[in-house]
Structure 1
Amino acid sequence: MEKRFLTIKEASKYLGVTPLTLRNWDNSGKLHASRHPMNNYRLYNKLELDAVMRKIEMSAEKKTTRKQLNTRVHVLKVKHLKD
């Protein structure tokens, strides 16, 4: 059975960010962390982590597209200057 909640260490590995980043996201409200009732440790819902992962991937795709467009524009400018 797959775990529904991940510890901060597991969640940081899952998203590829540091535990400090997760704490900052929790404090700023970007990502909600539940608290374990016995020890008050942060626990992250895997469904919420999947949603964050999709946002990160979409953001990376947008940046790549912008970078590709900027490169193309630059190449076009260089071609124009050579003609």
Structure 2
Amino acid sequence: MSENREIQKLRGLMKVGEAAEFCGVTAETLRNWDRSGKLVARRNPVTGYRYYRQKDLEKFLQKVIEERAGG
């Protein structure tokens, strides 16, 4: 039963390809960011697939922009 609740939490999230397109990077870049801990994905408890919330991606991209601007 708890597995179903976990799967329900994944609804409305972006798959790796969708998130990569949103960020303007490749899917492999997102996977690398996840492995390095820069941007942590949510995982499907059954398949292990990565999913991202748009809000988290926007926050991460803003942080990257600020770091590149020196702020």
Length-normalised TM-score, structure 1:
0.62
Work out the CA distance in 2 between the residues paired with 1:49 and 1:15: 7
Change (3 A) 1:47 1:4: farther
Work out the CA distance in 2 between the residues paired with 1:7 and 1:45: 9
Residues 11-63 of structure 1, C-alpha deviations (whole Å, 9 max, x = no match): 00000011111111100100111111232111112211010121233244x27
Residues 44-63 of structure 1 mapped to structure 2, 5 A cutoff = 44-60=52-68, 62=69
Aligned residues: 60
Quote the RMSD (CA, aligned, Å): 1.8
Deviating runs (4+, > 2 A) in structure 1?
A: 56-60
Code of the residue aligned with 1:31 in structure 2: it is L
Runs of 5+ consecutive residues of structure 2 not aligned to the other structure:
1-10
Greater Rg over alpha carbons, structure: 1
Length-normalised TM-score, structure 2:
0.71
Aligned to 1:25: 33
Structure having the higher helix fraction is 1
Runs of 5+ consecutive residues of structure 1 not aligned to the other structure:
64-83
